[in-house]
Every structure is written in structure tokens, then in C-alpha cells.
Amino acid sequence: MTPHHPIGVFDSGVGGLTVLKEIRRELPAEDLLYVADSGHAPYGDKSPLQIEARAVALTEFLIGQGAKAVVVACNTATGAAARLLRSRYPVPIIAMEPAVKPAVALTRSGVIGVLATRATLASHSFGALLARVGAATAAQVLLQPCPGLVERIEAGDLDGDFTRALLADYLRPLLARGADSIVLGCTHYPYLRPLIVEVAGTGVAVLDSGAAVARQVRRRLESSGLLAPAGCHGTERFWTSAHPAAGQELVSRLWQTRVTLEPLPAGWPADSLAIAAGRAT
Ligand code: DGL
């Protein structure tokens, strides 16, 4: 593996583009590979084993494409699979952590709301994060699963009436209980930031962890001697597990540049369960 190899990034769909954008900002010289697993989104209502299977398949794909590091740009996949991926692959695996710690440092009301998928909130790693943070603080952390929101974003509906109403239903109970900091525990949700501010008002802080993860990617590459030489001009390549024609417009819109979305190689998604099943042997 050399500094000239690319960084691989994946998510259940287009949400990880919010993290990819921060990685591009932090590391302009790096070549970036992105897989949107939109053919299998949402992950949030799947079992841990199903999510793990997808995470393994996509990590294998990215490593097969020469990735020198893999970023799990999905909180749900982090909760289900980050430990397994780290134990299994020799490349640095960088994963998500909802911004609960910064929210605790910021809150004045002492009440924090976390929006995330059901699977993330139920995961061992999220529970461990709360236990670590809880040990150091008296803040009250309110957990709000948000079924349906990822589907709205995958459909490209970032500001329609239905998305607004769904989001308001999830936010209002948190605001009514005094939350003054909202943690976005899903990488899709930063696309809803304008709507969140509209519903919650500008006095409420909205935190995501994309920039922190991008800094962590830099640190891991630096410490492994894998950082691309300054002065290179990084490129991006995008794949999807859904039909590329269906995602092309949305990915281009969210990336704010016309991109070519490639299909994952035939058979790849179908192989994923077999790959994950192999872990037990
Ligand atoms: N972006 C994923 C996350 O961060 C969305 C999960 C889903 O597909 O439900 O959790």
C-alpha cells in the first residue's frame, strides 16, 4: 500500500457524501472512491447481521479497488460492523461517532437530543459512547429514532412537505423537553439541516461529525505514512448498488458537480451474505 492509493468510503446510500465532502475539504490531494449502497438502503431497520454483511461486502470491494483506508461513512454500519472490519482487514478503518461529546460541552440547558436510526441507537458502540459521556456529565440525552427520514433523502426530497412534517414530529418532543443541542447521528441528516433550523430555531445547535471524521482520516493516514503528497489533485469515483440511472441526478445534485455513477460489478451484492457468513468459520 502506498500514499498514491485511494481512500474508500461507503454508506447505505447518499448520506456518506456529507462525510466525503469533509474529507475532500481536509485532504484535497487524495483520490476518493465512494460506494452508495442505495440498492440496500435503509440500513436502519435491518438486523445487525444483514448490515454487517453489507459492510463486509463493500469493504472488500473498496479494498479490491486498491483502497489504502476505508471510511465507514454510516453510523448504522459503524454500530453493526466497525469492530469486525477492524479485526479483519489490515488497512485503517475509520468510522463514525455521533457528536454527543461536543454537544455535552455545548449545551446550556443540559438537555441534548440525538436523531439516529433505530439500529444505531440500539448498537453496543452507541451504548458504550453514552456510558463514557454519561460518566463525565449530568446532561440528559434524549434518543429519537427517525424511521422514514433516510428514505425521504434517498428519494431526493430534502425540503418537501412530507419530509418537513416527519422531521417536525421527531424534533418537537425533544424541543418540548428543553433540548438546545441536536446531534445528527446519521450521515444522511446533515442534508436536512436547513429544515431542522426552520423547525427548531436558530437558538438550537445542530451538530454532525463529518469534519471530525475527516480530521481523523488525516491523522490515521499521517501516522501510517499513507498521506498523498501535497500538490496532487485528488479525483473521485462513485459506485451504486442501485440502478445508476436512478441515482445519477441525486448524487450529482448533492456533490454539486456532474458525476458518473457506476454500477457495482454484477454479482457483488449477491455475494455479500456468503462473505459475512464466512466470518464464523
Ligand atoms: N447514513 C446512514 C447512517 O449514518 C443511514 C442509515 C440507513 O440507511 O438507515 O446511519
In tens, the pLDDT along 213-245 reads 999 999 999 999 999 999 889 999 999 999 999
Known catalytic residue at 146: no
Residue identified by cell 441515482 is 247
Measured from the CA of 76, which atom of ligand 1 is nearest? 10
Nearest CA to ligand 1 atom 8: 42
Mean confidence (pLDDT) of the chain: 93
Q: Which residues does a 6 A CB cutoff place in the pocket of ligand 1?
A: 11-13, 15, 41-44, 74-76, 117, 120, 150, 186-188
Phi-psi region at 231: left, alpha or beta (left = phi > 0; alpha = psi -120 to 50): left
pLDDT computed for residue 160 by the predictor: 96
Ligand 1 centre to CA of 42 (Å) is 6
- With the most atoms of ligand 1 within 8 angstroms of its CB, the residue from 35, 114, 187, 192 to mutate is 187
Handedness of CA 53, 251, 185, 172 (dihedral sign): negative
pLDDT band at 176; cut points 50, 70, 90 = very high
pLDDT computed for residue 80 by the predictor: 96
pLDDT at 121 over 70: yes
- CB-based contact 123:96 (threshold 8 Å): no
pLDDT at 135 over 60: no
Per-residue cell: 45: 431497520
Say which of 41, 74, 104, 196 is annotated catalytic: 74
Known catalytic residue at 186: yes
| Distance (Å, whole) CA 197 – CA 182 | 10
- Average pLDDT, integer, range 1-29: 97
What structural domains and CATH numbers belong to the chain?
7-96+211-280 (3.40.50.1860), 100-208 (3.40.50.1860)
pLDDT computed for residue 274 by the predictor: 42
- Average pLDDT, integer, range 129-137: 79
End-to-end CA distance of the chain: 27
Ligand 1 centre to CA of 21 (Å) is 17
pLDDT computed for residue 270 by the predictor: 44
Say which of 186, 192, 227, 254 is annotated catalytic: 186
pLDDT computed for residue 222 by the predictor: 97
pLDDT computed for residue 267 by the predictor: 59
| Distance (Å, whole) CA 133 – CA 61 | 35
- CB-based contact 87:195 (threshold 8 Å): no
pLDDT computed for residue 136 by the predictor: 57
pLDDT at 182 over 90: yes
pLDDT at 45 over 90: no
CA 207 to chain centre: 14
pLDDT computed for residue 134 by the predictor: 76
- Average pLDDT, integer, range 76-105: 97
User: Other CB atoms closer than 10 Å to residue 95's CB: what's the count?
Assistant: 22
pLDDT computed for residue 277 by the predictor: 41
Ligand 1 centre to CA of 231 (Å) is 34
Nearest CA to ligand 1 atom 2: 74
| Distance (Å, whole) CA 85 – CA 149 | 27
pLDDT computed for residue 281 by the predictor: 28
pLDDT computed for residue 273 by the predictor: 45
Measured from the CA of 41, which atom of ligand 1 is nearest? 8
Per-residue cell: 227: 498521506
pTM here is 0.94
